[in-house]
Structure 1
Amino acid sequence: MVARPNTTDLTIGITPDIPPESAPVPCSALDTSVETGRRGFLRGLGGLFLGAGAAIAAPTIITNPAEAASVAAPRRQLSFVSLHTSEKLKVTYYNNGSYDRSALKDVNHMLRDWRTGEVGNMDPKLLDLLFQLRQRLRTDEPFQVISGYRCPKTNAMLASKSEGVATKSLHMEGKAIDITMAGRQLSRIRQEALNLRMGGVGIYSKTGFVHVDTGRVRQWGV
């Protein structure tokens, strides 16, 4: 764990079960013939469950009580661990009334398309959703990330292999994330996310994760 000036800690490692990529591959060069679907990867995982920069003004429009509670928090911190790369990130992404630009860049890198190395722009409202969700789950455990941002080429490849992947997925807009968390059942993660009513919630019990996004309120999966 390496201390970062902006209160961000980032540790990078390689999961033994997943061969490291030699170098990031541009999204346009992604080989769609290779089986890299998230369901294939998760089956391989089995039962594994494991600052200051320039500021961005906080949103002033509050749409529901859950979002209001999140916006009211003066300091917001999140932790992530990637189940694909073993990277870990603990970051204070919001402080003193504004989002921290440097911290958001770290989040974007952490939640990049791990297949290609392409970095997207994650929706700050998605981070607020996760912040509120972790409060409801009453834990300091990191979110275990299966999928964050996806470039269009990656998403098209996955959609061609599975009906469960939307062709216009919000992952491509940085507005969705697939997660699990040590010590918390998927059913509880799903229910607490539904209670927030801050976007879409899907549960994938067989493959072991919950999808949350900042799209319209809806739910699916068993």
Structure 2
Amino acid sequence: MNEPALEHLTVIDGTNTLSRRRFLNSVACGSLLAMGSPKIVQAAFSGFTAHKTLSLEHHHTGDTLKLTYYEHGRYIHDALKEASYFLRDYHNDAVHTVDTALLDQLYDVKLLLRVNKPFHIVSAYRSPGTNASLRRHSRGVARHSLHMQGRAVDIRMEGVSAKTIRDAAHTLQRGGVGYYPNSNFVHLDTGEIRTWHR
């Protein structure tokens, strides 16, 4: 196939049409993932994306959100505000600014999974009061949880096992990755690189 013909090539992925550049980038990232080097994969996901879009569904509120939060080399302020509200503490509607690195983690996990499905949000921002209340009922809640800083999220995805999500997130080697198979969710955060299983 010659170069001019490739210029107009589009590939349908669910409801999204991928441009030639984005298609070739996804093929390259898939090849790098197959090589098995987390550093190579991380390099493949750094910075060369024209836009970043996420689809989210909230497990507790039933809210859904599909938004492009990054475009033409910059984060979109209004989209980040919308994401922060969506990821609010559903117990009391308290809102905290979401860490853009956390959104990027979700986006890159989505690319690695090669699926076009929404992330189901189990928990995102937690106010200090909510975190303290949850700690009284569960030993698995950290006193200084990154959820209280808008830097953590607990997720699952319909039709994708928590183990598969965990493996994709672990491959990125960014932040914390907690695996909760009994509750069927994965914790992601933008803290130090570490993993755990509960």
- TM bucket (normalised to shorter chain) is 0.7 to 0.9
Counterpart of 1:178, as a letter, is D
**Whole-angstrom distance in 1 between the partners of 2:40 and 2:188:** 17
Residue 135 of structure 2, aligned match among 147, 156, 159: 159
Mapping of residues 75-154 of structure 1, within 5 Å: 75-154=51-130
Instruction: Give the 3-state SS of the residue equivalent to 1:215 in structure 2.
Output: coil
* Greater share of helix: 2
1:68 Cα shift? Answer: 5.8
SS for the counterpart of 2:98 is coil
The within-5 A match list for 1:183-198 is 183-198=159-174
* Structure 2 unpaired stretches of 5+: 1-38
CA distance change for structure 1 residues 204 and 166 in 2, over 3 Å: closer, same or farther?
same
Higher CA-based Rg:
2
Amino acid at match of 1:216: E
Identical residues among aligned pairs (%): 43
User: Number of aligned pairs?
Assistant: 160
Deviation at 1:180, TM superposition (A): 0.1
Q: Is the 8 A contact 1:93 1:104 kept in 2?
A: yes
The 8 Å contact of residues 41 and 171 in structure 2, kept in 1 or not, is answered as no
TM-score (norm 2): 0.78
**Which of 159, 183, 186 is residue 207 of structure 1 equivalent to?**
183
Structure possessing the higher relative contact order (Cα contacts under 8 Å, 6 or more residues apart): 1
Provide runs of 4+ in structure 1 moved above 2 Å.
none
Amino acid at match of 1:220: W
Gaps of 5+ in 1: 1-62
